A and B are shown apart, each in its own frame.
Chain A
Amino acid sequence: MIRTMRVGLLVTCLVDLVRPRIGIAAVKLLEEAGCEVVVPESQTCCGQPGWNSGDRRSARALAQKLIEEFEPCEYVVAPSGSCAGMVKLHFAELFPGEGAWLERAERLAQKTYELTDFLVNVAGIARVPGEYSGSVTYHDSCSGLRELGVKRQPRALLAKMAGVQLKEMKDAETCCGFGGTFSVKFGEISAAMAQAKCERVRESGAGAVVLGDLGCMLNIEGKLRRMGDDQTLVLHVAEVLTWER
């Protein structure tokens, strides 16, 4: 008998607040992969805003909360490279020399995955439930790509969909300019970087830009709409993989 994997879904605050349908899509994908999904109800934020802004104290408090919430799960999966990267790489940095907490942070890190990485490399999902037809281009979000090595995984999943045509853009690995609080502290620079990214997206000729992180998603969609482009879709990879015609 195949044992069911018990996966805790780290929804992430941006999915919770802005695009909850991505969270539902993640649940569907994990269930399709044969996992039992649990969603700790008290979860909020992984502490990344504080961590990246130099506010170690608030980041540490939120990390402790998250560790307590997700410890009982066999795996932790997030539909975001940056939040998964926060847990996997940076939580341990918040507890230097603190025996017990450090150990708990490291244990959690070992079982935490970005969604597409988990589906491909851990769960070995056989088929994807969605049906999408159209051309897409893939933006590699920085944390997923450079902290977690997420590059091949989302493309492998999209390749399972007969109707999806992947048109790679130039500079797919270049930052879109979001950078968390950078996007508001240096709005002009951030928007200029987003513009460069959006030009690449449009040059690709794809009908949709697909990605795996909410920050980039808001940044790219916001810039496309400001540029007057209401046509190009901006979709999370989980949305495409569960697309219903």
Chain B
Amino acid sequence: MQLASIQFKRRAVEALADERLQSTMKRFGSGFADKRSAARAAFGVVAFEELRTASASIRDRAIENLDGWLLRFEAEATRRGTTVLWAEDADEACRHVLEICSRHGLRKAIKSKSMLSEEAGLNEVLAAAGVQPVETDLGEYILQLADEPPSHIIAPAIHKDLAQVSDLFEKHHAKPRTDDITRLTHEARDMLRPHFLSADLGISGANFLVAETGSVAIVTNEGNGRMVTTLPRVHVAITGIEKVIPTLEDLSTLNRILPRSATGQDIENYFSILTGPKRAGDADGPEHMYVVLVNNGRTRFIGGDLQEMLRCIRCGACMNHCPVFQTVGGHAYGWVYPGPMGSVLTPVYKGLENALDLPQAATLCGACEVACPVKIPLPGLLRTLREQQVERNLRPWTERAALRIWAALALRPRLYALATGVAVRVLHWMGGKRGSIARLPFDPGWTQGRDFPAPQGRTFRTLYAEYQRASHWRRA
């Protein structure tokens, strides 16, 4: 996927001006967050918080010994007939998949949701090599028709409204237009069924990799994941190396928190544990199973100040709870991962200098941190990235100067009192009778969309001196 994170601000402003997107985002609103909150209450708030703590520590245990668990996964998966391939970056991952295609003579790939595939731009690579990729998750299918990237990691087409989907289906399905949701989903099903039956390759991601059994665990709500991983001759799971967890017991813990955090469900509609290809006597399953383990920047987190980010289980709770995401939508972030998690991942994966706005594009309100099922301190990580930007001189000189002048003043109380005393008098005067300033001088952005309430005109120091004199007289 093309990286456009450097234009976050421009894209965000465009999103704000897009009335259709704004009304779609408003409808989306706090839907997922409300459902999570209800699921948490039903689970028991105290128990849920314990579950978060347990989940975070499972993920830490996996990450702290990542190489060990990955080798264990490779050994166990290989023992059960799966071929495990390693990829340093997106290109190598794509090359592995292409080699698999040519080895087995594969022509059509049905896909269930995989964010790693978005990272790698796998669809474009497959199409260029003459292998037809077909997205089978309904949201991803809609976006494939629209030729757009996802705007949310679990609800990829959340930025599209009903009429837009109807338009797309009418254009691509050559069927009479309908605005009926049930009929639209049936239509998609009818279009996808022949692909399910004719594809020779199934490509999935992985929600978790279980080291002790060499299994790939996948959760979906539409059942397409199950078809993708069992119907075609060959199944390839393509996934980031951080997805590994030690045991099935860990999987059971994490799968309690994942659906509740993501969509507020107690359990997903479909939950598959895939361990090796079809064995003699099995009713179904692929003849060949591959797992492509991709680094693509993940090891950069190891041993650094941002390592906690690798705990992420891709539930989307951080964006569901992020007021900035809800205001501008996912596309503004300019790469695969939007919202708070994307604002940490993108600068590390793609370079801090290529995503300058992302660590800044947060109010540090903390809503993501309290919602995160694995307790990633997202605001703290964003702050750390801001420090790295300052250390690497990546902030504009005006900002650095403003901060330095402020600090220099604040360190000199007398000068500070003098300067601020004048400033508040001037601003008070500017506020006029209404006490509201419509345009501030040298203002980079406050008064475009709101007034600045005028200061009272005197500082606390002055008022307090009067107050003390008055209380002295009262007492006397």
**Which positions in A face B, CB cutoff 8 Å?**
11, 13, 15-21, 23-24, 27, 39, 41-45, 47, 49-56, 58, 61-62, 65, 142-143, 146-147, 171, 173-175, 177-196, 217-219, 221-223, 225-226, 230, 234
Q: Give complex CA distance A147, B462 in Å.
A: 32
13 A-B pairs within 8 Å (CB atoms) are namely: A16-B420, A44-B409, A54-B388, A54-B389, A54-B390, A55-B400, A181-B360, A183-B445, A183-B446, A187-B448, A189-B324, A192-B449, A226-B451
Does B323 contact A174, Cβ atoms closer than 8 Å? yes
| Given A21-B456, A218-B453: A58 in contact with B403 (beta carbons within 8 A) | yes
B369 at the interface (CB under 8 A from A): yes
Bitwise interface map of B from 361 to 393 toward A, beta carbon under 8 Å scored 1, else 0? 111111101100000000000010111111100
Does A222 contact B366, Cβ atoms closer than 8 Å? no
Bitwise interface map of B from 454 to 468 toward A, beta carbon under 8 Å scored 1, else 0? 011011111110010
Does B386 contact A226, Cβ atoms closer than 8 Å? no
Does B456 contact A179, Cβ atoms closer than 8 Å? no
Does B323 contact A65, Cβ atoms closer than 8 Å? no
B411 to chain A, nearest CB (A): 6
| Given A51-B383, A58-B407: A187 in contact with B445 (beta carbons within 8 A) | yes
In the complex, what residues of B have CB within 8 A of residue A44's CB?
409-411, 413, 416
Q: Which 7 A-B pairs have the closest CB atoms?
A: A191-B449, A187-B445, A179-B363, A54-B386, A58-B407, A175-B365, A20-B460
* B452 touches which of A20, A171, A222 (Cβ 8 Å): A222
In the complex, what residues of B have CB within 8 A of residue A55's CB?
390, 400, 403-404, 407
Does A23 contact B460, Cβ atoms closer than 8 Å? yes
B424 at the interface (CB under 8 A from A): yes
Does B451 contact A45, Cβ atoms closer than 8 Å? no
B21 to chain A, nearest CB (A): 12
Does A186 contact B403, Cβ atoms closer than 8 Å? no
B256 at the interface (CB under 8 A from A): no
In the complex, what residues of A have CB within 8 A of residue B451's CB?
221-223, 225-226
Instruction: Specify which of B13, B324, B404 lies most central, judged by the most chain A CB atoms within 10 Å of its CB.
Output: B324
| Chief secondary structure at chain B's binding surface | helix
B30 at the interface (CB under 8 A from A): yes
A26 to chain B, nearest CB (A): 10
In the complex, what residues of A have CB within 8 A of residue B71's CB?
none
Q: Give complex CA distance A187, B449 in Å.
A: 7
Chain B interface residue count, CB cutoff 8 Å, equals: 67
In the complex, what residues of B have CB within 8 A of residue A178's CB?
363
Instruction: Specify which of B327, B366, B443 lies most central, judged by the most chain A CB atoms within 10 Å of its CB.
Output: B327
Q: Closest B-chain residue to A195, C-beta based?
A: B449
Interface residues of B in 112-157 (CB under 8 A from A): none
Does A54 contact B464, Cβ atoms closer than 8 Å? no
Does B362 contact A182, Cβ atoms closer than 8 Å? yes
In the complex, what residues of B have CB within 8 A of residue A226's CB?
438, 449-451
In the complex, what residues of B have CB within 8 A of residue A223's CB?
449-451
Instruction: Specify which of A185, A195, A230 lies most central, judged by the most chain B CB atoms within 10 Å of its CB.
Output: A185
B348 to chain A, nearest CB (A): 15
Q: Closest A-chain residue to B445, C-beta based?
A: A187
* A191 touches which of B386, B403, B448, B463 (Cβ 8 Å): B448
Does A65 contact B448, Cβ atoms closer than 8 Å? no
Q: Give complex CA distance A53, B140 in Å.
A: 37
Does B328 contact A189, Cβ atoms closer than 8 Å? yes
B436 at the interface (CB under 8 A from A): yes
Does A50 contact B364, Cβ atoms closer than 8 Å? no
B370 to chain A, nearest CB (A): 6
Q: Give complex CA distance A179, B365 in Å.
A: 7
In the complex, what residues of A have CB within 8 A of residue B386's CB?
52-54
